Amino acid sequence: MLIRKACCTFTFAALLSSQAAMAETMLRIGMTASDIPTATGLPNNGFEGMRFLGYPIFEGLVLWDLTRTDKLAGLRPGLAEKWEQDPEDSKTWIFHLRHGVKFHDGADFNADAVIWNLERYFNSSSPQFEPASSAMSRARVPIMGSYKKIDDFTVVVTTTKPASYFPYMAVYLLFTSPASFEKAGRDWAKVATLPAAGTGPFRITKVVPRQEADLARWDGYWDRSKMAKVDNIVLMPIPEANSRLAALRSGQVDWIEVPPPDGVASLKSAGFTITTGSYPHVWPWFYNIGATNSPFKDVKVRQALNYCIDREGLVALLNGTAERSVGWLKASDPDFGSPVNRYKFDPRQGQGAARRSRIHAGEATILQGADLELRFGSDAAFTDERIPAAKPERGVRCERGVRRDRMAGSFDRRAGDAR
């Protein structure tokens, strides 16, 4: 399991010997979600939803290969044994489905089930259309064109443009038994509480909104080499970091995600195992350049403020459970490139950018000043009142104003001064 803290990932579990882990029949997990992710087969709550109520229960034609933790995940065959691009049409992909796969309700997985689910996601006129899942699927697979059944175990998908990376999109399209929809009276809200049937190594046995979701090992799983190693999993939404920590310490749960950073040292000393790994993307924060009279419309203002963010200080504040961001992509990403400039905490550079801005030149005079706040969720819980402020500099004053729930500064348009 992976979890996210800033641009870093973080796994957290009680320390168990391998022998004890083998004997364990139930794993209780404290999630960061505020509610149980939707259980119709394509969960909300981002990748937390996918890793807890997505992939363990519902699968796609293509799956992530999660056998390695020291490099980015590749792909492996899922409900499709193999796939290839049509040699005569680079927009067409041919998927050869796996034989002998059953949904948890006993229904057969075949080409009809694939087409039924694709209609659920991409055809708003279909009886089984599910708006919420469709929105997520269309966002993740924006180049979906058409699809058709060739025979019971062959499906062809055509994209709107050639894309060699289409299999990396296919991992986000998970399949639910059509029988679940019929059993629920063709009502997706009721499907979520049946519970719905997938093809994964776990099946859902109970869903109680805002309380818990229970999973049980599926002994009929098609991949005998990847059978579940525990009998049951209980998923509990505990959105507040300190509450998750208390649940772990009291024995209410066995494993939590994203503990409060200032609790890491004490947990290590108490014998808990903490595992961290670098997450393959960052969570970006955007200045609101679309607002009326926004000072951020000026690229020099944005550059000045970028130099006012002490990223190394943030990593230190988070007890090393984060990484310093260097751009939209990570420096280790093959598509990162070779940028000439990399932002660092540099007030003097910020001064220069502010002096070159239109605001400093007096072109913007609408307001007396503007406040900038970067608000973090409750998981950004620290005992530190504030990081010590940097020495004010003429033109730009950069403060490391990171408190328990805010990093704040103000921008005086009259003086071109970032505070």
Both 16 and 97 in one domain: the answer is no
**410 with 372, same domain?**
yes
Do 22 and 39 lie in a common domain?
A: no
Residue 276 to residue 12: CA distance in whole angstroms: 8
Q: With left for phi above 0 and alpha for psi between -120 and 50, is residue 341 left, alpha or beta?
A: beta
Residue 270 falls inside a structural domain: yes
What is the per-residue pLDDT for 22? 52
**Residues 64 and 2 reside in one and the same domain:** no
Over the stretch 96-129, which tens digit does the pLDDT of each residue have? 999 999 999 999 999 999 999 999 999 999 999 9
Contact 145, 159 (CB under 8 A): yes
Based on the domain organization, do 81 and 173 belong to the same domain? Answer: yes
The total of structural domains in the chain comes to 3
What's the confidence (pLDDT) of residue 24? 58
Q: Is residue 61 part of a domain?
A: yes
Residue 232 placed within a domain: no
Instruction: Supply the pLDDT for residue 400.
Output: 40
| 233 found inside a domain | no
Coil/strand/helix, residue 300: helix
Q: Is there a single domain that holds both residue 182 and residue 243?
A: no
Q: Which residues contact 8 (CB under 8 A, 6 or more apart)?
A: 276, 277, 278, 279, 321, 322, 323
Pair 161, 305 in one domain: no
Q: For residues 184 and 127, is the Cβ–Cβ distance under 8 A?
A: no
Tell me, yes or no, whether 339 and 371 share the same domain. yes
What's phi and psi for 63, nearest 5 deg?
-125, 160
Q: Domain containing 102 — which CATH number?
A: 3.40.190.10
The residue from 194, 227, 260 where one domain ends is 227
11 with 22: CB under 8 angstroms? no
Whether 258 is in a domain gets the answer: yes
Looking at the structure, tell me whether residues 39 and 18 fall in a common domain. Answer: no
Domain of residue 206: give its range.
35-211+219-227
Segments of the chain with pLDDT less than 70: 1-24, 357-419
Same domain, 316 and 408: yes
Residue 3 located in a structural domain: yes
Per-residue pLDDT, 290: 86
Last residue of a domain, one of 279, 295, 310: 279
Same domain, 76 and 223: yes
Residues 382 and 331 in one domain: yes
